[in-house]
Amino acid sequence: MEWTKYVLSLVFGGCLLMLFGRKEDGRDKWLLGLGAGSCLAAMELTVEYMLGEPQWKMAVSAMKGLAFFSAVVLAGYVRDWIVGGRRALTDMEVAHPIRQWMEDYQESFAQLSRSFCMVPQMAAEVNSRGDRILLDRLAESRMAAAGQLREMSQILVGTMERIYSTREDTELEQEIGKRLRLMGVRVHKVFFYNPLGRKRQIYMTMNTRRKICVPVKKIAAVLSDLMDCEMMPARDSRSIVSQERVTVLFVEGVAYNVLYGVRKETRQQEAVSGDNFSVFWLPDGQFYAGLSDGMGSGIQACTQSELVLDLLQQFVEAGFSKETAVRMINASIVLQPEEPVFSTIDMASIDLYTGVCDFVKVGAGVSFLKKENGVECIRGGGLPAGVTSQIPLEPYRIRMYDGNILFLMTDGVISALPEGQEEETMKHLIRNLPQGTPAEMAERLMEQVRTYGEGADDMTILVAGIWKR
């Protein structure tokens, strides 16, 4: 019967799919179509060859197999389109209760923030200057508290999106377990984190079944084969897996490596510099480098700038955006009961997948990017953190390429150069720096700046460069 050939062809294609197919990698429909089409063509050609049919009939049979292959693949795409549309419609229509609760909380915080912003107008006549200062201080505190609540509402939105971007994949988890079982590794749980527009991450809880140790890099190689992209253990993760149950984060391999170096100089007659720096990496491929200059010098300025950078790193590592972290830190300084110590914030974040670099500058000085064809200035502006409850954050974004080097520096470095020619002098010094590691370049640049005389303020230079892997 004619239809039995098609059924047998589909059965053969299904067997091929079970042996070599992988979930959600897009090739299942092609495997099924290839198996079914080739099987139909083989059966037709075998019968016609045995019966001695002419060549044109054999060519028609081969075309029939190709047409069957195309029909199966097309049917697979149509099925994916229908299922995907239904799934998206279901996701839109059915809201999870937790999502609804978090949206309600977010709206409550936003409404409370708006109520704090409705500061009553001050009377035209105030009894004394002290009363006016007190009322101004109260208004600043209300605006700072409103900013905190507004940022909390945004934090809830980000938390909700992170929760719903983490999923399970039973079939892929089973496949990972099978492959790692051959290496003596027992997989307990796997979570896949794949937010829109960002790279994939895998959280894997596992241990070894015997008294052996398995390098995490070998496990990453298995994941790379299964995920069809390079996977690597996150920075500062464990290097081996032993009998102790651990959770290891694996991320997609980055395109760039980064190196950095720092050089600091303390102002004369001071034992401690008021400048501080912070450098850290995030699992999503972001490298952060930041400077903070506490107003003045000495222990108090050092303590304040160190606190600002510590808070900034903690907020960013917890998943908050740079802008949210800066606004919350600014509000905390404004709300201090005693006289606040102002601090500048100069932070650059480099995406090691794309080379895109974003800046956040709050009262910070100029930065410089050394490229193949010259030196570019990145200027900041505004007031330091803590001066006012409302700080304008003007985002600045550039693209860094292989071999580009970024120079962050505090105001003390620029002010040590000839007055009125600070930027041009610094661009000339950077342009003529000899090649070397970022640490060597920071050292040489500081030496050249000191040839113009002793600086009147603390000086810090942070140099970071990216190179293709």
Mean pLDDT, range 281-308, rounded to an integer: 86
What pLDDT band is residue 77 in, cutting at 50, 70 and 90?
confident
pLDDT at residue 189 above 60? yes
Q: CA-CA-CA-CA torsion for 92, 98, 99, 103, nearest 10 degrees?
A: 140
Mean pLDDT of 219-230: 89
Confidence of residue 16 (pLDDT cuts 50, 70, 90): low
pLDDT band at 194, cuts 50/70/90? confident
pLDDT at 349 over 90: yes
| Token pair recorded at residue 283 | 């699992």
Share of the chain above pLDDT 70, in %: 71
Distance, C-alpha 347 to centroid of its chain:
15
Q: Which long-range contacts (CB under 8 A, 24 or more apart) does 61-69 make?
A: 64/40, 65/37, 65/38, 65/39, 65/40, 65/41, 66/37, 66/41, 67/37, 68/6, 68/9, 68/33, 68/36, 68/37, 68/40, 68/41, 69/33, 69/34, 69/36, 69/37, 69/38
pLDDT band per the 50, 70, 90 thresholds, residue 90: very low
DSSP 3-state assignment of 120? coil
- Is residue 444 scored above 90 in pLDDT? yes
Are 411 and 457 within 8 A, CB to CB? yes
For residue 385, give the DSSP letter: B
User: At residue 188, what is the residue type?
Assistant: H
Highest mean pLDDT among 109-113, 293-297, 306-310: 306-310
Of the listed ranges 182-196, 212-226, 279-293, 431-445, the least confidently predicted one is: 182-196
Which carries the bigger pLDDT value, residue 295 or residue 96? 295
Residue 233 has pLDDT above 70, yes or no: yes
Residue 62: its pLDDT value, please?
74
pTM beyond 0.75: no
Residue 463, CB half-sphere, CA atoms under 13 Å: how many? 22
- Rounded average pLDDT over 114-139: 59
Which is more confidently placed, 233 or 63? 233
| pLDDT: which is higher, 286 or 389 | 286
Indicate the range of 72-81, 174-183, 186-195 predicted with least confidence.
72-81
Residue 435 has pLDDT above 60, yes or no: yes
Distance between CA atoms of residues 215 and 184, nearest Å: 11
pLDDT higher than threshold 90 for residue 41 = no
Given the structure tokens 């977010």, which residue do they identify? 106
Distance of CA 214 to the CA centre of its chain: 28
% of residues, the chain, pLDDT over 90: 25
pLDDT by residue (tens digit) across 373-391? Answer: 899 999 877 777 766 667 7
Residue 4: what pLDDT?
Answer: 72
Smallest CA-to-CA distance from 229 within 259, 192, 258 is with 192
User: Confidence band (pLDDT; 50, 70, 90) for 94?
Assistant: very low
Bin 15: left if φ > 0, else alpha if -120 < ψ < 50, else beta. alpha
